[in-house]
Structure 1
Amino acid sequence: MAKGFRRLCLALLCLLCLVASAAAQSLDVKIKVTSVSPARIRVEGRRAEGTTAWSFRNFYGSAGGLAERIENLVLYDESGAEVVARKLATGEFTAAKAALRFSYDLKLDPPAFVSDTSHVSWLTTDLGLLMPGDILPLPLTDAKVEIILPTGWSVSTVETNNGKGVFEVTDAERAVFFVGRDLRERSARVGGMKFTLATTGDWAFSDNEAEDSARDILKIYEEMIGGAPRRPSMLVLLPPPQSAGAANLWNAETRGSTVVLVSGRLPSKLPALAQLDGSLSHELLHLWIPNGLALDGEYDWFYEGFTNYQALRVGMRRGQLTFQDYLNKFGQAFDAYKSARGTKEISLLEASKRRWPNSTSLIYHKGMLVALLYDLALMRQTGGKSSLGDVYHELFRLYGQGGKREDGNRAIIELLSGMPGMRDFVERYVAGESEIILGPLIEASGLRIEPGGARTHIGVAASLDRRQRESLRKLGYNGPSDSEARKLHEQMKRRPPR
């Protein structure tokens, strides 16, 4: 047993040495597009210090096999002599001695699934995304990145160009380079933020209309949160690389200060703008939450689920949803939550830990429902004087200006619980495993589950007291006009099928 214990200690010591030698270092790299068909890049560079441990990202979200794209990896020591590298596992290599310089080729064919195209690097014959997080050796901090493109191509990014064709990247994990031919940019000042739209190709709407939508949404969020992110931001709007992608599908990621929106191209302007507005209402908030906060950890339930709720609030404020549309979204979310939860309830905290690949639906739908219920309960507790928007304002005030990083779950739960009368709610529906029984939870706020039907339909109660009416008005309810819409909705439900 003593010998086995010594072997275990020795193995742990070796592992610690490998980790220590691979501590995050500055990189100086050159990324060259060597071919667009097939899609290939050449990566050459050096680390600030030598290391024997070399790692490359193999998974990101639902995308896997990323490190399998690496070919022809060669390492060199300080003198330029080649160092033998041995493969330990996919994306994991050990060098015979400390190596500083490196070179390799990377296959960048578009991912098999359209849903992964905003999250990883890829190239086509006309455009692509280069994301250092899945291209460069790990772990990453800052980097100097030179990008060499085919003739006629250009690059759009928020990263600083030093004037010599080299980008000074302060956080390589969060960097995005949009590359291609015929890229277009429009820049503007939105409140306290510099904002750029970068796009390519033809859309049913104009670049000006896309920019106006983004500006409107950014202004609403800056007003709600009480400040702007510190860095300039960019929206990259591009079509999917897969020719078979459906026009009504989109996927997006907000990485650092860049929102990457890969969207199908609907042929008619109104549906196309509605799809754009819906996606931007969710994604643009990520410039603040979580990307603008000094918070760490798995609090996806808040920055995805609660963001879904705020996106609907923006749709209401911009007149893109009626109040009944708004309520219908929560009925759909409740049905999706019941389907996703299975036979056993789990907390939002636990669901966030299990997000990939099993709990994504639960995070989005249960998180959105809990946000609505929290907002209703808080307005009820405070007579309409406080709302969920006040939590966002305080969150950004405390953690939006940098400084020491804190645990996101702890910080947000403290703020949510600290609002008047909300501690028990947070303990039950965020940290705890209480099932959402929707009817009783919304009745006190003047809402109800409409009887009949296989799906959940939420409506406004037949009679409202003053406090209920005021609370619902803050959510966008417009008394008489919404009552008429509700009557029409009831008539349509009773109409016999043809």
Structure 2
Amino acid sequence: MKNLHLFNLPVLVLLFTLLSCATDDGGDPIVEPDVPSAPASVSLQEAVFYNINLNDRSGDSFKVRVFVDGLTEANAIFQFAATAPGTYDLLNFGNYVSDFKAFNKDYEPLEVSKLSTNQWQLANPAGTAIIEYEIRETWDEVNPADMIYRMGGTSIEEDHSLVNTFAVLGYPTGLKEKQYVVSIDHPSTWSVGTALSKNDNGYYVATDYDHLADSPLLLGNLTFASIGIDQTDIDIWTYSATGVNSSSDIEVQIEEVMDDAKAFLGELPVDRYSFLYHFEGEETLGALEHSYSSVHVIEESPAAQESAWIKYAAAHEFFHIITPLNIHSEIIEDFNFVTPTPSRHLWLYEGVTNWAAWFMRYRNNSISLNHLLEVFKVYINVNENNFDKSYSLVDISLQSYTPQGGEQYSNIYYRGAIVAALLDIRLLELSNGETGLREIILDLVDRYGPENEFQDDQFFDIFVAMTYPEIGDFIENYIKGTTELPIGDYFSKIGIQYDPATYTLTPVSTPTAEQQFLFEKWSTNL
């Protein structure tokens, strides 16, 4: 071998330049990839950091990058939601995931394997620094059997995107309680509607995964309006496919409903709330509640903004702040995204909520008595003719995730609201007009609130202890059991006659003094 000093220096420079650009196949020069990294302001010891790239909307899929540090074997499974709060259905968002990858801090690939529909195994969790995947939007699903409620799914289009976070963002098992920080790359002309707060660096921050999953985002060419009611800011964000609906069009309806809620509750129980509206297509109606926001998917038409649905859905979804945000069991407090876990108390979360959605408006004179009674006529008719009455409200609750129970689930809104109305009358009767269902609900809010849960299997006993022994019989017969509902008997106590042949409720022309007294208590917030 020749000594190095015999080589000409310019020749050596050229040689090493050529070597540095060489490839083993004679093709283009090897270019070292940029190594993605989380922002320096984010401590990965304290938080999981996501980046969602909405600038790249190709394939109608979300491109997600997750930055982690310090994972252990306890965090080796990356989990996508099998279900989500408020849906009471199997959703299996893992079905929409593709191209799932993991990398070390040098952006070198690590082995991953799919364990089940919603779970991916990280072969080297301790070395994992970056996780990448794509997840398709759910609105494009073509199989009706697999369709996910639009208000609980995702959409990604050229001018907007609906991001239900539980439908896009998975998490490492064992880290639900960690902080979650999210950055979203999107067109500069887009607006973002969400109840999530930003930190000083402009990233969205959630205290834990439950908070993150409870915080949808609507992005795109949106209109915005805001209402101030006492100390509460009500934000309205609207996407309208053709531009015929806007937040300012909806503002009057929302303000009326918020006034009704304030009168019913005494005060609005949050300092901020966001209504997210998506208008597009035809024959689409749905809404999904969250603690500080709700998603409303409505067909696009010039009349949509004036529809009764706007007010009803706003009242219903907003009241979910009470049930289940302020009154809930341990099943809601620490939600199981892996294995759907039913609660006994959908009669409370959905049935009482549906009752309140109408009664808050009736008692504040936003709807008439005839309107209210027509609603209950429809509910009674639906309960009598469209569902299997051998299912109690508790049966519907506990079997909501099964195919058979799922077919009965919608009756929680109808039968559940009827039972709540009967319970209200019974409480007023037993208390001589001093306490109705509203007052018990407010007492439960004071007792529990958002930070304290009751035990799912003990709540009926708690409710009876707070009220009267006779309420125990009511629960056994009409919530746990399937005894025929005493609609005529109970409504007659407030001077309203029931015709079981037509399901009609009609005020009697000459009520007794006792009926009139109880009716007046029934019609007011005590």
Question: Which category of TM-score, normalised to the shorter sequence, fits these structures?
Answer: 0.7 to 0.9
1:53 corresponds in structure 2 to 77
Q: Does 1:426 align with 2:463?
A: no
* Structure-2 separation of matches of 1:82 and 1:210: 49
User: Are the structure 2 counterparts of residues 64 and 178 from structure 1 closer, same or farther at C-alpha, using a change threshold of 3 Å?
Assistant: same
1:149 corresponds in structure 2 to 186
* Structure-2 separation of matches of 1:227 and 1:415: 23
* Structure-1 separation of matches of 2:243 and 2:356: 27
Which residue identity does 1:210 align to in structure 2?
A: I
2:339 corresponds in structure 1 to none
2:157 corresponds in structure 1 to 124
* Structure-1 separation of matches of 2:308 and 2:429: 32
- Per the TM alignment, residue 360 of structure 1 is displaced from its structure 2 partner at its CA by 1.7
Which residue identity does 2:65 align to in structure 1?
A: E
Which residue identity does 1:95 align to in structure 2?
A: L
Contact 1:66 / 1:134 at 8 angstroms: preserved in 2? yes
- Per the TM alignment, residue 151 of structure 1 is displaced from its structure 2 partner at its CA by 4.0
SS in 2 for 1:342: coil
2:218 corresponds in structure 1 to 178
Which residue identity does 1:66 align to in structure 2?
A: F
Contact 2:81 / 2:91 at 8 angstroms: preserved in 1? no
* Structure-2 separation of matches of 1:65 and 1:258: 23
1:481 corresponds in structure 2 to none
1:338 corresponds in structure 2 to 384
* Structure-2 separation of matches of 1:206 and 1:145: 28
2:117 corresponds in structure 1 to 90
Q: Deviations over 1:34-83 (max 9, x none)?
A: 44353122111123432321221244534635212211111124564422
- Per the TM alignment, residue 475 of structure 1 is displaced from its structure 2 partner at its CA by 4.1
Contact 2:67 / 2:129 at 8 angstroms: preserved in 1? yes
Contact 1:226 / 1:396 at 8 angstroms: preserved in 2? no
* Structure-1 separation of matches of 2:389 and 2:425: 27
* Structure-1 separation of matches of 2:464 and 2:348: 11
Equivalenced residues, count: 443
TM-score by length of 2: 0.76
Q: Does 1:251 align with 2:286?
A: yes
SS in 1 for 2:420: helix
- Per the TM alignment, residue 398 of structure 1 is displaced from its structure 2 partner at its CA by 1.3
CA RMSD of aligned residues (A): 2.9
* Structure-1 separation of matches of 2:411 and 2:289: 20
Contact 2:347 / 2:412 at 8 angstroms: preserved in 1? yes
* Structure-1 separation of matches of 2:112 and 2:105: 15
* Structure-2 separation of matches of 1:137 and 1:410: 32
Larger deviation, residues 351-360 vs 434-443: 434-443
- Per the TM alignment, residue 359 of structure 1 is displaced from its structure 2 partner at its CA by 2.7
- Per the TM alignment, residue 119 of structure 1 is displaced from its structure 2 partner at its CA by 0.7
1:262 corresponds in structure 2 to 297
- Per the TM alignment, residue 314 of structure 1 is displaced from its structure 2 partner at its CA by 2.8
User: Are the structure 2 counterparts of residues 390 and 153 from structure 1 closer, same or farther at C-alpha, using a change threshold of 3 Å?
Assistant: same
Which residue identity does 2:463 align to in structure 1?
A: L
1:296 corresponds in structure 2 to 330
Superposition pairs for residues 333-482 of structure 1, below 5 Å?
Answer: 333-342=379-388, 344=390, 346-356=391-401, 357-402=406-451, 404-407=452-455, 410-411=458-459, 414-415=462-463, 418-420=466-468, 421-450=470-499, 452=501, 455-476=502-523
Contact 1:155 / 1:179 at 8 angstroms: preserved in 2? yes
Give structure 2 stretches of 5+ with no counterpart.
1-44, 332-342
* Structure-2 separation of matches of 1:33 and 1:172: 18
* Structure-2 separation of matches of 1:400 and 1:414: 15
Contact 1:417 / 1:426 at 8 angstroms: preserved in 2? no
Which residue identity does 1:214 align to in structure 2?
A: I
- Per the TM alignment, residue 153 of structure 1 is displaced from its structure 2 partner at its CA by 1.8
Give me the identity figure in percent: 17
Contact 1:41 / 1:108 at 8 angstroms: preserved in 2? yes
Which residue identity does 2:298 align to in structure 1?
A: S
* Structure-1 separation of matches of 2:370 and 2:443: 30
Q: Does 1:283 align with 2:317?
A: yes
Which residue identity does 1:282 align to in structure 2?
A: H
SS in 1 for 2:433: coil
Contact 1:87 / 1:94 at 8 angstroms: preserved in 2? yes
* Structure-1 separation of matches of 2:295 and 2:510: 45
Contact 2:113 / 2:122 at 8 angstroms: preserved in 1? yes
Which of these residues, 22, 28, 31, is aligned with residue 49 of structure 2? Answer: 28
Which residue identity does 1:457 align to in structure 2?
A: T
- Per the TM alignment, residue 451 of structure 1 is displaced from its structure 2 partner at its CA by 6.5
User: Are the structure 2 counterparts of residues 354 and 367 from structure 1 closer, same or farther at C-alpha, using a change threshold of 3 Å?
Assistant: same
2:8 corresponds in structure 1 to none
TM-score by length of 1: 0.80
SS in 2 for 1:288: helix
* Structure-1 separation of matches of 2:56 and 2:105: 30
Which of these residues, 355, 359, 365, is aligned with residue 313 of structure 1? Answer: 359
SS in 1 for 2:297: strand
User: Are the structure 2 counterparts of residues 205 and 31 from structure 1 closer, same or farther at C-alpha, using a change threshold of 3 Å?
Assistant: closer
SS in 1 for 2:434: coil
Which of these residues, 327, 342, 349, is aligned with residue 373 of structure 2? Answer: 327
Looking at CA atoms only, which structure, 1 or 2, has the larger radius of gyration? 2
* Structure-2 separation of matches of 1:436 and 1:378: 16
* Structure-1 separation of matches of 2:317 and 2:500: 35
User: Are the structure 2 counterparts of residues 49 and 335 from structure 1 closer, same or farther at C-alpha, using a change threshold of 3 Å?
Assistant: farther
SS in 2 for 1:118: helix
* Structure-2 separation of matches of 1:343 and 1:300: 16
Contact 1:294 / 1:406 at 8 angstroms: preserved in 2? yes
Q: Deviations over 1:422-460 (max 9, x none)?
A: 3322232223343324333433332222265xx421222
Contact 1:75 / 1:103 at 8 angstroms: preserved in 2? yes
Contact 1:38 / 1:109 at 8 angstroms: preserved in 2? no
SS in 2 for 1:291: helix
Which residue identity does 1:155 align to in structure 2?
A: V
Contact 1:375 / 1:388 at 8 angstroms: preserved in 2? yes
User: Are the structure 2 counterparts of residues 395 and 442 from structure 1 closer, same or farther at C-alpha, using a change threshold of 3 Å?
Assistant: same
Q: Does 1:214 align with 2:254?
A: yes
Which residue identity does 1:137 align to in structure 2?
A: G
Contact 1:192 / 1:227 at 8 angstroms: preserved in 2? no
1:40 corresponds in structure 2 to 61
SS in 2 for 1:165: coil
Contact 2:245 / 2:302 at 8 angstroms: preserved in 1? no
User: Are the structure 2 counterparts of residues 207 and 318 from structure 1 closer, same or farther at C-alpha, using a change threshold of 3 Å?
Assistant: farther
* Structure-2 separation of matches of 1:219 and 1:409: 35
1:16 corresponds in structure 2 to none
1:106 corresponds in structure 2 to 135
Which residue identity does 2:96 align to in structure 1?
A: R
